[in-house]
Amino acid sequence: MDSILIQGGRPLRGTLSVQGCKNALLPLMAAAAAIPGQTILTGCPPIRDETVTLALLEGLGVSTAAERDRLVLDASRDGGTAPDPTLAGQLRSSVLFLGALLGRYGHAGVPLPGGCVLGKRPLDLHLAGLEALGVQSFCDGGILHCKGRPRGGHYHLPYPSVGATENLILAALGAEEPVWITGAAREPEIEDLVNFLTASGARISGGGSSRVHIIPAPLHGTSYRVLPDRMEAATWLCAAACTGGSLTLTRLCPDHLRPVLRALRAAGCEITEGEASLRICAGDLHSPGSVRTAPYPGFPTDAQAPVMAALLRAEGITRFEETVFDDRFRHIPALQAMGARIACSGSAALVTGVRELHGARVAATDLRGAAAMVCAALGARGESEITQAWHLDRGYGNFVQRLRRLGAVALAR
């Protein structure tokens, strides 16, 4: 998808089932390379990052099959330990093959990862943790080489990095002795990875807490359903808020969205919760005060851009502070082109609500920034064109079709 044309001004209305979680699926797919058996994943979203990861797995000798929302990944036979550099360069999550291949084979050569450009995203924490567990590493020609099975022991993460936590868990599957990780990230996607690995025979406790304990154990194939995508759910909630619409979302966990729900409720949205559903009714909005991103259970950095879009017409001034990534305001110039009043300085942005937004031609910068531009365009007067819309394909399956199902006037081209 090269671009999206959106005719704004129509409230979104209807019901959607939330798709499987991109940030949960990709670690599970990488983990499948560490399991000498057949992995069946269901509830998988039809996204570009899934397609690229399937190609990476096939290059490592893993047999793959995809049908609708079901993936069959068979790594029964030993395979390669060096993912294709061209493919790996398209995904940040490709770095997780480092831990998966180390855990299985005791060595790996993984290209430096790609993905959205969000500022500095160093691998220092990944490597420091692996080296503390006895793994040797060096970089040569853009390839990160690691060798040696983790010997076991304890490592404390000085920052709760999601990727580092996942990589250390995957590497610890092949450790010689038990591994303790403290200071671990607590995101639901990590708990989902631990639940999947446990279903595959791993002995892991503490998933979703700051202290994870891994005892090496034989692994086997399993079937597993992917966690619902809290960031997709947050995006649809923000789209409804932008348009003054009413929307029901099913197949989700409201507890995973608690900070986003607090912000939208404080802005005047009426949100009703069910056991696995949410209904939002949006009207005139006002500033919720401030939004500050933080590791889970704080406000998620991935929801910052869509929520900012939702509050562009909210009465008053909303302060956004980004503490996770140092270049996550790249969507702001596009929102300003649509008439938003945003003053940005360093890690803070002040949004002063305006009466009306207008259509504009803008270029997507990253996955969540692109989602914010769509949300703003839906609530704007006139037509907008969002170019480089392929960013959306990375994390939102059948996005334009789902928009149109809710009453939006949208066209992909």
* Nearest one of 11, 9, 44, 39 to 26, comparing CA atoms: 44
Q: Do 39 and 184 reside in the same domain of the chain?
A: yes
Least confident range from 7-11, 69-73, 117-121, 396-400: namely: 117-121
State CA 258 to chain mean position distance: 17
The answer to whether residues 143 and 37 belong to one domain is yes
Residue 170: both structure tokens together:
């995957």
The stretch 270-293 carries a mean pLDDT of: 97
Co-location of 183 and 253 in the same domain? no
Query: What would the two tokens of residue 120 be?
Result: 């500095």
pLDDT bracket for residue 237 (50, 70, 90):
very high
Give the pLDDT of residue 365: 92
- Per-residue pLDDT, 114: 54
Domain count for the chain? 2
Residue 300 has pLDDT above 60, yes or no: yes
Looking at the fold, whether 380 and 241 belong to one and the same domain comes out as: yes
Per-residue pLDDT reduced to its tens digit, 365-383: 999 999 999 999 999 999 9
- Residue 11 and residue 95 share a domain: no
Boundary of a domain, candidates 173, 203, 225 = 225
Report yes or no: 31 and 24 within 8 Å, Cβ to Cβ. Answer: no
Quick one: pLDDT at residue 140? 85
* Residue that finishes a domain, picked among 173, 193, 225: 225
pTM for the complete prediction? 0.95
Kindly name the residue from 21, 44, 116, 238 that is annotated as catalytic.
116
- Give me the mean pLDDT over the 172-192 stretch: 97
Same domain, 298 and 404: yes
Whether 253 is catalytic is no
Q: Which CATH number belongs to the domain containing residue 156 in this structure?
A: 3.65.10.10
152 within 8 A of 126, measured Cβ to Cβ: no
Whether 40 and 10 map to the same domain: the answer is no
Is there a single domain that holds both residue 373 and residue 274? yes
112-150 pLDDT, tens per residue? 775 444 344 468 899 999 999 999 998 888 888 999 999
User: What is the domain range of residue 196?
Assistant: 22-225
β-partners of residue 381 are: 358
Domain final residue pick, 204, 225, 246: 225
Together in a domain, 188 and 296: no
pLDDT at position 1 over 90 = no
| Residue the block writes with tokens 């595959």 | 200
DSSP state of 228: B
CB atoms within 10 A of CB 266: 16
Q: What phi, psi does 344 have (nearest 5°)?
A: -115, 135
232 shares its domain with 185: no
Do 250 and 194 fall within a single domain?
Answer: no
212 and 279 part of one domain: no
Token pair, residue 251, equals: 């197949």
